[in-house]
């Protein structure tokens, strides 16, 4: 009898075509890796140029400046002063002046107008022909839309002047509507 030859896993032989395809794939992978590193370096270089250009345009030297406690206090005081000035400027001055100019002032002379934006108050010093004129002026201010809580702080009848005028000081809350002081 003849011997039986059973080969369930035949040996495959690698040919030159297989080896050449393997070499080409390895070379292509190596080329992609080199190209990726080159592009990454270019991106980092461009980002560095961009940051440098942004610093030059904004005037930022990039160095952090440490302030002394005295400089920090001075900056805080300057900031507080700027906020105070800003509050004064944001007040509705035009409406206050228009209201005061529109009021009948035949018997009243305004002497000073002193606003306090932080407290939202205004102090008015004036001179009236008599007590009745002073009280009428007080009522008109209280009835206005711009001022509220009008209070008479002081009054004095000037005795050494023949007409005996009344000098007085008023304090009022200065309403500003929707604006934030």
Averaged pLDDT for residues 21-50:
94
Q: Which fold has domain 91-174?
A: Gyrase A; domain 2 (3.30.1360)
Place of tokens 């306090």: 116
Q: Cα angle vertex 123, ends 119, 128, to 5°?
A: 165
Pairwise pLDDT comparison (9 vs 155), residue with the higher score = 155
Residue 179 has pLDDT above 60, yes or no: no
Q: Cα angle vertex 73, ends 67, 79, to 5°?
A: 105
Q: What is the pLDDT of residue 2?
A: 83
Averaged pLDDT for residues 15-37:
93
Tally of CB atoms within 10 A around 129: 15
Q: Kindly list the domain boundaries of the chain, sorted by start residue.
A: 91-174
Do the Cβ atoms of 169 and 124 come closer than 8 Å?
yes
Q: What is the pLDDT of residue 176?
A: 62
Task: Output the CA–CA distances (angstroms, integers) from residue 12 to 9, 15, 17, 157, in the order listed.
Answer: 9, 9, 13, 126
Mean pLDDT (the chain, rounded): 85
Residue 20 has pLDDT above 80, yes or no: yes
Expressed in angstroms, the distance from the first to the final Cα of the chain is 115
- Name the E strands within 71-146: 108-116, 121-128
């Amino acid at each position: 009898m003849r011997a039986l030859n059973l080969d369930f896993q035949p040996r495959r032989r690698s040919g030159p075509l297989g080896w050449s395809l393997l070499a080409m794939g390895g070379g292509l992978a190596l080329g992609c890796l080199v190209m990726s590193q080159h592009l990454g370096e270019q991106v980092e270089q461009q980002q560095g140029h961009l940051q440098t250009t942004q610093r030059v345009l904004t005037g930022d030297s990039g160095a952090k400046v440490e302030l002394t406690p005295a400089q920090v206090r001075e900056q805080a005081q300057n900031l507080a002063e700027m906020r105070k000035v800003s509050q004064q400027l944001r007040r509705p001055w035009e409406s206050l002046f228009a209201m005061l100019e529109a009021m009948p002032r035949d018997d009243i002379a305004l002497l000073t107008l002193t606003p306090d934006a932080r407290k939202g108050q205004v102090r008015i010093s004036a001179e009236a022909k008599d007590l009745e004129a002073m009280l009428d002026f007080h009522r008109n201010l209280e009835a206005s839309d711009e001022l509220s809580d009008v209070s008479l702080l002081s009054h004095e009848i000037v005795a050494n002047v023949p007409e005996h005028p009344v000098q007085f000081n008023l304090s009022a809350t200065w309403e500003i509507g929707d604006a934030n002081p």
